[in-house]
Structure 1
Amino acid sequence: MASHCYGRQKSDHWNSLEFSPQISLALFTAGNKLRGSAFGGELTYHIQKNNHPRPWMRMLRLNSVDLVFNYKNMEKVTLSSDPRPNLFGDAYAIVAALNFTLLKSKYAELWVAPGLGIGYLGQTYFTNRNILIGSHLNFASRMALKVAAKVAPYTRLSAGMDVLHFSNAAIRTPNYGINISSLSFGVLQMLRSSGQPKRDTTERKDRLGLSRHQFDFGVNIGRRGVVRSREGLYKTGLYAGYNYRLNPLLGCSSGIDAVYYHTVYQNNLQTDQSLATSLDRWRVGLAIGPDFWMDRLAVMAKYGYYLHYNHFSKSSEEVKTYWTAGLKYYVMDWAAVQTKVYLHKTEADYLGLGILLTP
């Protein structure tokens, strides 16, 4: 009996494989109405992280890092303004997710798993003139809420809901994006391992974990797609700000965003960038928001107000605020690679890739 109980406790520290068939609950997108339903499934490999967790893992109750493969049959999904069948083709996504435990008992567990990855859609504006998607390759973001109940020592049944989002951050337009909410039922099987789990003996004395105050200086470059074209308009983003680390997990940062337009509006459709259209070479804003730290990787998000933006809009709509979000990974204590997206309301402006320096 004692050895059986020990095995059950050990099973909580093993990796696992989950298969979950899915049926869509709703499909929605910006400015358009979607009809029909999608079905498919997910195959998830859960890599357990509750053996000797890092401080930020304990604070967030991280259970596992998940590798997710998602498939959706979109044959019956149409637009209210375009009833053609198979308008979007099948959808595929590979997502890396963080699995956080919300509630846990001896027999069941409730978790939430946000994730980010790459998606592929079979049809685009340039293949069959659907008005929502401009590229086959897209970014895929996913938020899942699931409950798993133990039915055998190494087997659980799972059920949950998730929302999967496809868009390309305006690298190519149109870029209205697609959101799919789904209901899933599945089975989760523990994968037995041999030997004892290895203890992480790596010494981590990075200056990043010790310094509460730091100044950041960043630069990125990216492009926004030209309307009804495979071409793009380039922009360069600059950032200077201050970051205060509250604890190993959370920081607060504020700073100035400046964006340089390599091409400005020239009174034609090809240079019209919707809410991102500028009559000047520069726009400048002040933003503030949190940074969520996972050792050398940080997720950043900010809300900003424009100090200068000579915006052009045919509808005379004023644009005074913006959002930024992204990831930064410190390859050295003083230098990080970063990816950063700028948004106006729910509309992506452009995605920039670059570096961030912390002297």
Structure 2
Amino acid sequence: MTAVTSPIRNLLAARTQRTSVSEWLRRPRPALALPRWLLLVLLVALAVALVLIPLVNPSYINLTVTLVMIWTIVGLGLNLLVGFGGQISLGHSAFFAIGAYTVAVGGEAGWLHPFTLIAAGILPFILGYLIGLPALRLKGLQLGLVTLAMAMATPAAIRAFEPITHGSRGIAIDGDPPAWIPLAHDQWVYYLALLVVAIAYVVTRRLARGRLGRSFIAVRDAELVAETLGVDVWQTKTRLFAASAAYAGVAGGLYAMMLEFVGPENFGLMMSISFVTLIVVGGLATVPGAVLGALFIQYVPTFTSSISPSATGATYGIVLILFAFFVPFGLVGLVRGALAPIVARIPGRR
């Protein structure tokens, strides 16, 4: 009898262990309550490190970190829309392209870079608002299909407006700083991206934690209840869509300045898929998740493409499936779960 029950007990124990691991991965976790002194030390150390990176590293490292910051800006805006607002968008590469071409065309006209970046945020905001008025009356899969159509049509639309975009020839951009700023091209774009990502991060945190963030979540979870409580559901959705488009537009402008060239092949469907992967892997409805997701889509595809050129798309697909089923709260949930016991032991006022 003992010989029979022993394998059964081992099987039950293994099953219990697998269940506990699955539950741990799928468990929602609050933000880490760091002591104030530790939070201040980490912020100062991070700020100093980010400021010094372009001064002590070669240009290719500066450009790689700049790309991470550009993806972070896109992730912050898209997470506001999808994570906090509950609206599906698969077409943010279209707004990213609009921002990139705004900077390129403005640069051809002789505009200064800061002004072209401002225009790269304003134009996608206006277009996002106009598109959002009819599109956001759709829900779920229908809205996803409309935005997917935007992403698929973007390269063709760029070629169609050849007098402005130069079609398939693309536009070369002078991404160097003004003569009175003693920085190289990679350092100049890095510091612009650092300034923009810092502003975007602070603004997104304030929106997510404030009254607007609560109204976004209310609209996402229960539209009828939110409308009963006085929230203008359609205006909230439309403004959120427009703000998210502005984030993508500014990021696209920085991307164009970094590459010093834009063409229709830069903004294909794979870019939109990578944006969705960013927020899913990083963690939906979390502000730090945009940073972790940006690190993922920058470095993991680089590694997989060195193995096989076709491995990047497969990696995105496999990772999306795994995170959707087993890690619904993304890398942020894993980091919080791993560090929470350590943080709880650190003395200091939370």
Fold equivalence (TM over 0.5): no
Q: Indicate the structure whose relative CO is greater, using CA pairs within 8 Å and at least 6 residues apart.
A: 2
How would you bin the TM-score normalised by the shorter chain? under 0.3
Structure with the bigger percentage of helix: 2
TM-score of the pair, normalised by structure 1: 0.19
Structure with the bigger percentage of strand: 1
TM-score of the pair, normalised by structure 2: 0.19
